[in-house]
Structure 1
Amino acid sequence: MKKVFNYFLIGVLAFIPVVVILQIVWFVKERFADLIKMVYGYYENYAVTFTLFFISFALFAYIGYRVSMGRSSIIAAIDAIIHRIPFLNTIYRVTKKIVNLVSGHEPQKAREVVYIEYPKEGLWVPAYVTNKENDRYILFVPTSPNPTSGFTVIVHESKVRKSQMNIEQATSFIISVGVDYDKSQEANELPK
Protein backbone atom coordinates (compact mmCIF):
# COMPACT_ATOMS: atom_id res chain seq x y z
CA MET A 1 0.00 0.00 0.00
CA LYS A 2 2.89 2.36 0.80
CA LYS A 3 4.40 1.79 -2.68
CA VAL A 4 1.07 2.51 -4.38
CA PHE A 5 0.70 5.73 -2.38
CA ASN A 6 4.28 6.75 -3.36
CA TYR A 7 3.51 6.08 -7.02
CA PHE A 8 0.34 8.15 -6.66
CA LEU A 9 2.32 11.10 -5.22
CA ILE A 10 4.96 10.82 -7.98
CA GLY A 11 2.15 10.84 -10.57
CA VAL A 12 0.58 13.94 -8.99
CA LEU A 13 3.95 15.73 -8.89
CA ALA A 14 4.60 14.80 -12.52
CA PHE A 15 1.42 16.65 -13.52
CA ILE A 16 2.24 19.91 -11.70
CA PRO A 17 4.07 21.48 -14.70
CA VAL A 18 1.18 20.49 -16.97
CA VAL A 19 -1.35 22.06 -14.58
CA VAL A 20 0.70 25.28 -14.36
CA ILE A 21 0.80 25.57 -18.15
CA LEU A 22 -2.92 24.81 -18.41
CA GLN A 23 -3.65 27.52 -15.82
CA ILE A 24 -1.65 30.05 -17.82
CA VAL A 25 -3.39 29.05 -21.07
CA TRP A 26 -6.79 29.20 -19.36
CA PHE A 27 -6.03 32.67 -17.91
CA VAL A 28 -4.94 34.04 -21.32
CA LYS A 29 -7.96 32.47 -23.02
CA GLU A 30 -10.34 34.02 -20.47
CA ARG A 31 -8.77 37.48 -20.82
CA PHE A 32 -8.89 37.24 -24.62
CA ALA A 33 -12.51 36.06 -24.52
CA ASP A 34 -13.39 38.95 -22.18
CA LEU A 35 -11.75 41.37 -24.59
CA ILE A 36 -13.68 39.97 -27.56
CA LYS A 37 -16.93 40.13 -25.58
CA MET A 38 -16.21 43.73 -24.63
CA VAL A 39 -15.51 44.79 -28.23
CA TYR A 40 -18.36 42.67 -29.60
CA GLY A 41 -20.71 44.21 -27.03
CA TYR A 42 -20.20 47.61 -28.66
CA TYR A 43 -20.67 46.52 -32.26
CA GLU A 44 -22.46 43.11 -32.08
CA ASN A 45 -20.85 42.13 -35.34
CA TYR A 46 -18.02 39.57 -35.54
CA ALA A 47 -16.70 41.08 -38.78
CA VAL A 48 -16.15 44.44 -37.07
CA THR A 49 -14.66 42.75 -34.00
CA PHE A 50 -12.15 40.70 -36.01
CA THR A 51 -11.33 43.70 -38.22
CA LEU A 52 -10.51 45.74 -35.11
CA PHE A 53 -8.31 42.93 -33.78
CA PHE A 54 -6.55 42.54 -37.13
CA ILE A 55 -5.88 46.31 -37.32
CA SER A 56 -4.60 46.26 -33.71
CA PHE A 57 -2.33 43.30 -34.46
CA ALA A 58 -0.96 44.99 -37.58
CA LEU A 59 -0.38 48.25 -35.69
CA PHE A 60 1.53 46.52 -32.88
CA ALA A 61 3.58 44.53 -35.41
CA TYR A 62 4.43 47.74 -37.27
CA ILE A 63 5.42 49.52 -34.04
CA GLY A 64 7.52 46.49 -33.05
CA TYR A 65 9.26 46.57 -36.42
CA ARG A 66 9.98 50.32 -36.10
CA VAL A 67 11.26 49.94 -32.54
CA SER A 68 13.56 47.07 -33.58
CA MET A 69 14.92 49.21 -36.44
CA GLY A 70 15.71 52.14 -34.17
CA ARG A 71 12.98 54.46 -33.00
CA SER A 72 9.25 54.63 -33.56
CA SER A 73 7.70 58.06 -33.99
CA ILE A 74 4.51 56.80 -32.34
CA ILE A 75 6.41 55.67 -29.23
CA ALA A 76 8.47 58.87 -29.27
CA ALA A 77 5.26 60.95 -29.27
CA ILE A 78 3.83 58.92 -26.39
CA ASP A 79 7.15 59.30 -24.51
CA ALA A 80 7.06 63.08 -24.97
CA ILE A 81 3.51 63.31 -23.63
CA ILE A 82 4.05 61.03 -20.62
CA HIS A 83 7.35 62.70 -19.66
CA ARG A 84 5.39 65.91 -19.02
CA ILE A 85 3.04 64.31 -16.48
CA PRO A 86 4.41 64.35 -12.91
CA PHE A 87 4.54 61.03 -11.05
CA LEU A 88 3.39 59.02 -14.09
CA ASN A 89 6.63 59.88 -15.90
CA THR A 90 8.64 58.17 -13.13
CA ILE A 91 6.53 55.01 -13.25
CA TYR A 92 6.67 54.99 -17.06
CA ARG A 93 10.45 55.52 -17.19
CA VAL A 94 11.20 52.77 -14.66
CA THR A 95 8.76 50.33 -16.27
CA LYS A 96 10.29 51.01 -19.68
CA LYS A 97 13.81 50.33 -18.35
CA ILE A 98 12.70 47.05 -16.77
CA VAL A 99 10.98 45.92 -19.98
CA ASN A 100 14.10 46.84 -21.98
CA LEU A 101 16.29 44.90 -19.54
CA VAL A 102 14.17 41.76 -19.83
CA SER A 103 13.61 42.04 -23.59
CA GLY A 104 17.29 42.54 -24.36
CA HIS A 105 17.16 46.16 -25.54
CA GLU A 106 19.39 47.36 -22.69
CA PRO A 107 23.18 47.61 -23.09
CA GLN A 108 25.13 44.40 -22.59
CA LYS A 109 26.33 45.42 -19.11
CA ALA A 110 22.73 45.21 -17.94
CA ARG A 111 22.34 41.66 -19.26
CA GLU A 112 25.10 40.19 -17.12
CA VAL A 113 24.65 37.59 -14.41
CA VAL A 114 27.03 37.47 -11.46
CA TYR A 115 27.32 35.69 -8.12
CA ILE A 116 27.46 37.47 -4.78
CA GLU A 117 27.80 36.16 -1.25
CA TYR A 118 24.44 36.34 0.48
CA PRO A 119 23.13 36.11 3.21
CA LYS A 120 26.58 35.44 4.64
CA GLU A 121 30.10 34.59 3.50
CA GLY A 122 30.42 31.26 1.76
CA LEU A 123 26.85 31.23 0.43
CA TRP A 124 26.55 32.34 -3.22
CA VAL A 125 23.47 33.53 -5.08
CA PRO A 126 23.03 34.66 -8.69
CA ALA A 127 22.20 38.32 -9.32
CA TYR A 128 21.37 40.39 -12.40
CA VAL A 129 23.60 43.37 -13.16
CA THR A 130 21.24 46.28 -13.72
CA ASN A 131 23.86 49.03 -13.83
CA LYS A 132 27.51 49.76 -13.13
CA GLU A 133 28.99 52.98 -11.74
CA ASN A 134 32.81 53.07 -11.69
CA ASP A 135 33.86 50.17 -9.44
CA ARG A 136 30.36 49.55 -8.04
CA TYR A 137 27.80 47.11 -9.36
CA ILE A 138 24.09 47.73 -8.94
CA LEU A 139 22.49 44.30 -8.74
CA PHE A 140 19.03 42.84 -8.51
CA VAL A 141 19.08 39.69 -6.39
CA PRO A 142 15.99 37.62 -7.29
CA THR A 143 14.39 35.16 -4.88
CA SER A 144 13.24 31.61 -5.63
CA PRO A 145 10.90 30.50 -7.05
CA ASN A 146 9.65 33.93 -8.21
CA PRO A 147 12.47 35.85 -9.92
CA THR A 148 10.37 39.02 -10.12
CA SER A 149 10.64 39.46 -6.36
CA GLY A 150 13.93 40.23 -4.71
CA PHE A 151 16.01 43.21 -3.70
CA THR A 152 18.53 45.66 -5.11
CA VAL A 153 22.04 46.07 -3.73
CA ILE A 154 25.13 48.09 -4.55
CA VAL A 155 28.38 46.17 -4.13
CA HIS A 156 32.05 46.73 -4.88
CA GLU A 157 33.35 44.85 -7.90
CA SER A 158 35.69 42.84 -5.63
CA LYS A 159 32.61 41.19 -4.07
CA VAL A 160 31.27 40.01 -7.43
CA ARG A 161 32.11 36.78 -9.27
CA LYS A 162 31.29 36.67 -12.99
CA SER A 163 28.99 33.99 -14.33
CA GLN A 164 28.71 32.45 -17.79
CA MET A 165 24.94 32.20 -17.36
CA ASN A 166 22.73 34.50 -19.38
CA ILE A 167 19.52 36.08 -18.01
CA GLU A 168 17.33 33.23 -19.27
CA GLN A 169 19.53 30.52 -17.73
CA ALA A 170 19.70 32.36 -14.39
CA THR A 171 15.94 32.85 -14.38
CA SER A 172 15.40 29.16 -15.12
CA PHE A 173 17.81 28.28 -12.28
CA ILE A 174 15.87 30.51 -9.87
CA ILE A 175 12.39 29.35 -10.92
CA SER A 176 13.42 25.70 -10.69
CA VAL A 177 14.96 26.30 -7.24
CA GLY A 178 18.30 25.06 -8.51
CA VAL A 179 17.15 21.94 -10.37
CA ASP A 180 17.86 23.45 -13.81
CA TYR A 181 21.54 24.35 -13.42
CA ASP A 182 23.82 23.57 -16.35
CA LYS A 183 26.81 25.61 -15.08
CA SER A 184 27.88 23.27 -12.27
CA GLN A 185 31.55 23.91 -13.02
CA GLU A 186 30.93 27.52 -11.92
CA ALA A 187 29.70 26.33 -8.54
CA ASN A 188 32.93 24.42 -8.04
CA GLU A 189 35.01 27.51 -8.86
CA LEU A 190 33.32 29.76 -6.29
CA PRO A 191 35.41 30.41 -3.14
CA LYS A 192 34.45 28.54 0.03
Structure 2
Amino acid sequence: MTDRPQRGFLATRLRNYFLTGLIICAPLAITAWLVRSFIQWADGWVKPYLPTFYNPDNYLPFAVPGFGLLVAIIVITLVGFLTANLVGRSIVAFGESLLNRTPLVRTIYKALKQIFQTVLQEQSTSFKKAGLIEYPSPGLWSIVFIASDAKGNIASKFDERGLDMVAVFLPPTPVPTAGFLLFVERHKIVLLDMSAEDAAKLLISGGLVYPEPPPQRLPKRKEAPAEPVSQP
Protein backbone atom coordinates (compact mmCIF):
# COMPACT_ATOMS: atom_id res chain seq x y z
CA MET A 1 0.00 0.00 0.00
CA THR A 2 2.89 2.36 0.66
CA ASP A 3 4.41 1.82 -2.82
CA ARG A 4 1.50 3.41 -4.69
CA PRO A 5 1.55 6.72 -2.76
CA GLN A 6 5.32 6.91 -3.20
CA ARG A 7 5.05 6.22 -6.94
CA GLY A 8 2.28 8.81 -7.27
CA PHE A 9 4.34 11.35 -5.34
CA LEU A 10 7.40 10.64 -7.52
CA ALA A 11 5.35 10.97 -10.73
CA THR A 12 3.91 14.28 -9.54
CA ARG A 13 7.36 15.61 -8.70
CA LEU A 14 8.72 14.55 -12.10
CA ARG A 15 5.78 16.17 -13.88
CA ASN A 16 6.31 19.41 -11.95
CA TYR A 17 10.00 19.36 -12.79
CA PHE A 18 9.19 18.84 -16.47
CA LEU A 19 6.64 21.67 -16.54
CA THR A 20 9.06 24.00 -14.75
CA GLY A 21 11.79 23.18 -17.25
CA LEU A 22 9.33 23.66 -20.12
CA ILE A 23 8.35 27.10 -18.84
CA ILE A 24 12.02 28.11 -18.82
CA CYS A 25 13.24 26.39 -22.00
CA ALA A 26 10.28 26.97 -24.35
CA PRO A 27 10.46 30.81 -24.33
CA LEU A 28 14.23 30.65 -24.77
CA ALA A 29 13.96 28.22 -27.69
CA ILE A 30 11.19 30.19 -29.41
CA THR A 31 13.06 33.48 -28.93
CA ALA A 32 16.25 31.97 -30.35
CA TRP A 33 14.31 30.58 -33.33
CA LEU A 34 12.66 33.93 -34.06
CA VAL A 35 15.97 35.81 -33.80
CA ARG A 36 17.69 33.27 -36.03
CA SER A 37 14.88 33.41 -38.60
CA PHE A 38 15.02 37.22 -38.69
CA ILE A 39 18.81 37.24 -39.10
CA GLN A 40 18.61 34.64 -41.89
CA TRP A 41 15.87 36.66 -43.60
CA ALA A 42 17.97 39.85 -43.46
CA ASP A 43 21.09 38.04 -44.67
CA GLY A 44 19.16 36.48 -47.54
CA TRP A 45 18.09 39.93 -48.71
CA VAL A 46 21.37 41.82 -48.28
CA LYS A 47 24.21 39.38 -48.95
CA PRO A 48 23.37 38.68 -52.62
CA TYR A 49 23.83 42.40 -53.38
CA LEU A 50 27.21 42.71 -51.66
CA PRO A 51 30.36 42.79 -53.82
CA THR A 52 32.35 39.57 -53.74
CA PHE A 53 35.28 41.16 -51.92
CA TYR A 54 33.12 42.53 -49.10
CA ASN A 55 31.14 39.35 -48.54
CA PRO A 56 33.01 37.25 -45.93
CA ASP A 57 31.13 34.11 -46.95
CA ASN A 58 33.16 33.99 -50.19
CA TYR A 59 36.58 33.60 -48.55
CA LEU A 60 35.81 32.15 -45.11
CA PRO A 61 35.20 28.42 -44.56
CA PHE A 62 31.96 29.22 -42.72
CA ALA A 63 29.06 31.63 -43.11
CA VAL A 64 28.96 34.70 -40.90
CA PRO A 65 25.41 35.01 -39.54
CA GLY A 66 24.14 38.52 -39.03
CA PHE A 67 26.62 40.19 -41.39
CA GLY A 68 23.85 41.17 -43.81
CA LEU A 69 21.77 42.59 -40.96
CA LEU A 70 24.76 44.62 -39.75
CA VAL A 71 25.32 46.00 -43.24
CA ALA A 72 21.64 46.89 -43.54
CA ILE A 73 21.73 48.80 -40.25
CA ILE A 74 24.86 50.70 -41.32
CA VAL A 75 23.39 51.57 -44.73
CA ILE A 76 20.08 52.77 -43.24
CA THR A 77 21.97 54.92 -40.73
CA LEU A 78 24.13 56.42 -43.48
CA VAL A 79 21.04 57.20 -45.57
CA GLY A 80 19.51 59.00 -42.59
CA PHE A 81 22.76 60.92 -42.05
CA LEU A 82 23.01 61.96 -45.70
CA THR A 83 19.35 62.97 -45.82
CA ALA A 84 19.96 65.43 -42.99
CA ASN A 85 22.00 67.73 -45.26
CA LEU A 86 21.05 69.67 -48.36
CA VAL A 87 22.73 67.36 -50.87
CA GLY A 88 21.07 64.29 -49.42
CA ARG A 89 17.64 65.92 -49.39
CA SER A 90 18.09 66.89 -53.04
CA ILE A 91 18.95 63.32 -54.01
CA VAL A 92 15.98 61.95 -52.07
CA ALA A 93 13.65 64.53 -53.62
CA PHE A 94 14.89 63.59 -57.10
CA GLY A 95 14.33 59.90 -56.40
CA GLU A 96 10.84 60.56 -55.06
CA SER A 97 10.00 62.62 -58.13
CA LEU A 98 10.87 59.61 -60.30
CA LEU A 99 8.70 57.34 -58.15
CA ASN A 100 5.81 59.79 -58.29
CA ARG A 101 5.82 59.51 -62.08
CA THR A 102 5.55 55.73 -62.01
CA PRO A 103 1.97 54.37 -61.92
CA LEU A 104 1.07 51.94 -59.13
CA VAL A 105 4.52 52.30 -57.57
CA ARG A 106 3.81 55.86 -56.43
CA THR A 107 0.61 54.75 -54.69
CA ILE A 108 2.36 52.00 -52.75
CA TYR A 109 5.35 54.20 -51.91
CA LYS A 110 3.27 57.13 -50.66
CA ALA A 111 1.11 54.88 -48.51
CA LEU A 112 4.10 53.10 -46.94
CA LYS A 113 5.98 56.36 -46.37
CA GLN A 114 2.99 57.92 -44.63
CA ILE A 115 2.57 54.87 -42.40
CA PHE A 116 6.22 54.86 -41.33
CA GLN A 117 6.25 58.62 -40.75
CA THR A 118 3.14 58.38 -38.60
CA VAL A 119 4.33 55.43 -36.51
CA LEU A 120 8.03 56.30 -36.11
CA GLN A 121 7.78 60.01 -35.37
CA GLU A 122 8.95 60.77 -31.83
CA GLN A 123 5.96 63.01 -31.16
CA SER A 124 3.50 60.45 -32.51
CA THR A 125 1.20 58.69 -30.06
CA SER A 126 -0.20 56.23 -32.62
CA PHE A 127 -0.46 52.67 -31.32
CA LYS A 128 1.17 53.67 -28.03
CA LYS A 129 -2.06 53.54 -26.03
CA ALA A 130 -4.45 50.65 -25.47
CA GLY A 131 -8.11 50.78 -24.58
CA LEU A 132 -11.35 48.82 -24.32
CA ILE A 133 -14.44 49.09 -26.50
CA GLU A 134 -17.71 47.19 -26.50
CA TYR A 135 -17.28 44.84 -29.45
CA PRO A 136 -18.74 42.77 -31.11
CA SER A 137 -21.91 43.46 -29.08
CA PRO A 138 -22.85 45.43 -25.96
CA GLY A 139 -21.53 43.75 -22.83
CA LEU A 140 -18.55 42.17 -24.63
CA TRP A 141 -15.28 44.10 -24.40
CA SER A 142 -12.26 43.95 -26.71
CA ILE A 143 -8.77 45.41 -26.47
CA VAL A 144 -7.87 47.96 -29.14
CA PHE A 145 -4.87 50.13 -29.93
CA ILE A 146 -5.49 53.84 -30.37
CA ALA A 147 -4.35 54.88 -33.87
CA SER A 148 -5.30 58.54 -34.31
CA ASP A 149 -8.18 60.97 -34.48
CA ALA A 150 -10.36 60.83 -37.56
CA LYS A 151 -8.89 63.10 -40.25
CA GLY A 152 -9.61 64.39 -43.71
CA ASN A 153 -12.83 63.57 -45.51
CA ILE A 154 -13.79 60.99 -42.88
CA ALA A 155 -13.50 63.58 -40.10
CA SER A 156 -15.64 66.08 -42.05
CA LYS A 157 -18.40 63.51 -42.50
CA PHE A 158 -18.38 62.77 -38.78
CA ASP A 159 -18.36 66.49 -37.95
CA GLU A 160 -21.55 66.92 -39.96
CA ARG A 161 -23.18 64.44 -37.60
CA GLY A 162 -21.62 65.99 -34.50
CA LEU A 163 -19.49 62.93 -33.73
CA ASP A 164 -16.01 62.96 -32.19
CA MET A 165 -14.52 59.78 -33.63
CA VAL A 166 -11.20 58.04 -33.05
CA ALA A 167 -9.56 55.45 -35.29
CA VAL A 168 -8.66 52.27 -33.40
CA PHE A 169 -7.06 48.99 -34.45
CA LEU A 170 -8.76 45.80 -33.25
CA PRO A 171 -6.26 42.90 -33.38
CA PRO A 172 -7.21 39.22 -33.08
CA THR A 173 -5.76 36.62 -30.72
CA PRO A 174 -3.10 35.17 -30.76
CA VAL A 175 -1.62 36.91 -33.84
CA PRO A 176 -2.12 40.68 -33.43
CA THR A 177 -0.56 41.58 -36.79
CA ALA A 178 -3.90 41.49 -38.65
CA GLY A 179 -7.17 43.00 -37.55
CA PHE A 180 -9.85 45.58 -38.20
CA LEU A 181 -9.83 49.37 -38.45
CA LEU A 182 -12.77 50.78 -36.52
CA PHE A 183 -13.97 54.32 -35.86
CA VAL A 184 -15.33 54.68 -32.33
CA GLU A 185 -16.72 57.65 -30.46
CA ARG A 186 -14.13 59.02 -28.07
CA HIS A 187 -16.31 58.76 -24.96
CA LYS A 188 -16.94 55.06 -25.65
CA ILE A 189 -13.25 54.17 -25.34
CA VAL A 190 -11.98 53.13 -21.92
CA LEU A 191 -8.24 53.84 -21.80
CA LEU A 192 -6.12 51.25 -20.00
CA ASP A 193 -3.31 51.99 -17.58
CA MET A 194 -0.92 49.71 -19.46
CA SER A 195 1.53 50.11 -22.28
CA ALA A 196 0.93 48.87 -25.80
CA GLU A 197 3.55 46.16 -25.22
CA ASP A 198 1.69 44.82 -22.18
CA ALA A 199 -1.58 44.85 -24.11
CA ALA A 200 0.08 42.92 -26.94
CA LYS A 201 1.37 40.33 -24.44
CA LEU A 202 -2.15 39.93 -23.08
CA LEU A 203 -3.52 39.38 -26.59
CA ILE A 204 -0.82 36.95 -27.70
CA SER A 205 -1.15 34.85 -24.54
CA GLY A 206 -4.92 34.67 -24.89
CA GLY A 207 -5.52 36.33 -21.53
CA LEU A 208 -2.93 34.33 -19.59
CA VAL A 209 -0.24 36.99 -19.15
CA TYR A 210 -1.43 40.10 -17.33
CA PRO A 211 0.84 43.09 -16.71
CA GLU A 212 2.00 43.63 -13.18
CA PRO A 213 0.05 46.37 -11.40
CA PRO A 214 1.99 49.59 -10.86
CA PRO A 215 3.50 49.90 -7.40
CA GLN A 216 1.27 51.79 -5.02
CA ARG A 217 2.83 54.88 -3.63
CA LEU A 218 2.40 55.43 0.04
CA PRO A 219 0.93 58.80 0.96
CA LYS A 220 3.49 61.25 2.18
CA ARG A 221 3.47 61.72 5.89
CA LYS A 222 2.68 65.21 6.94
CA GLU A 223 5.36 66.74 9.09
CA ALA A 224 4.21 68.25 12.32
CA PRO A 225 4.70 71.99 12.49
CA ALA A 226 7.72 73.02 14.46
CA GLU A 227 6.97 74.28 17.92
CA PRO A 228 7.88 77.91 18.52
CA VAL A 229 10.95 78.38 20.63
CA SER A 230 10.15 80.25 23.82
CA GLN A 231 12.43 83.18 24.38
CA PRO A 232 13.58 83.91 27.97
Structure 2 CA distance for partners of 1:145 and 1:110, relative to 1, 3 Å: closer
Q: Which runs of 5+ in 1 are unaligned?
A: 185-192
Partner of 2:198: 169
What is the aligned-residue RMSD (CA, Å)? 3.6
How is 1:73-152 mapped onto 2 (pairs within 5 angstroms)? 73=89, 74-105=91-122, 107-108=124-125, 111-133=128-150, 135-152=164-181
Partner of 1:63: 79
Q: 1:39·1:49 contact (CA, 8 Å) conserved in 2?
A: no
State the Cα distance separating 1:68 from its structure 2 match.
8.1
TM norm structure 1: 0.69
State the Cα distance separating 1:63 from its structure 2 match.
2.6
Structure 2 CA distance for partners of 1:67 and 1:38, relative to 1, 3 Å: closer
Amino acid at match of 2:137: K
Q: 1:140·1:153 contact (CA, 8 Å) conserved in 2?
A: yes
| Whole-angstrom distance in 2 between the partners of 1:175 and 1:66 | 39
Partner of 2:55: 49
Q: 1:113·1:129 contact (CA, 8 Å) conserved in 2?
A: yes
Structure 2 CA distance for partners of 1:176 and 1:68, relative to 1, 3 Å: farther
The answer to whether residue 211 in structure 2 is matched with residue 181 in structure 1 is yes
Alignment size in residue pairs: 177
Select the structure of larger CA radius of gyration: 2
| Whole-angstrom distance in 2 between the partners of 1:16 and 1:55 | 31
Amino acid at match of 2:96: D
Q: 2:118·2:126 contact (CA, 8 Å) conserved in 1?
A: no
| Whole-angstrom distance in 1 between the partners of 2:172 and 2:100 | 32
State the Cα distance separating 1:31 from its structure 2 match.
3.5
2:185 pairs, out of 141, 148, 156, with 156
1:4 pairs, out of 11, 14, 17, with 14
Amino acid at match of 2:78: Y
Task: State the identity %.
Answer: 24
Q: 2:47·2:55 contact (CA, 8 Å) conserved in 1?
A: no
State the Cα distance separating 1:138 from its structure 2 match.
1.4
Amino acid at match of 1:82: L
The answer to whether residue 28 in structure 2 is matched with residue 18 in structure 1 is yes
| Whole-angstrom distance in 1 between the partners of 2:130 and 2:82 | 29
Decide which structure has greater helix share.
Answer: 1
Q: Which runs of 5+ in 2 are unaligned?
A: 1-10, 57-67, 156-163, 215-232
Moved more, 101-110 or 164-173: 101-110
| Whole-angstrom distance in 2 between the partners of 1:107 and 1:58 | 25
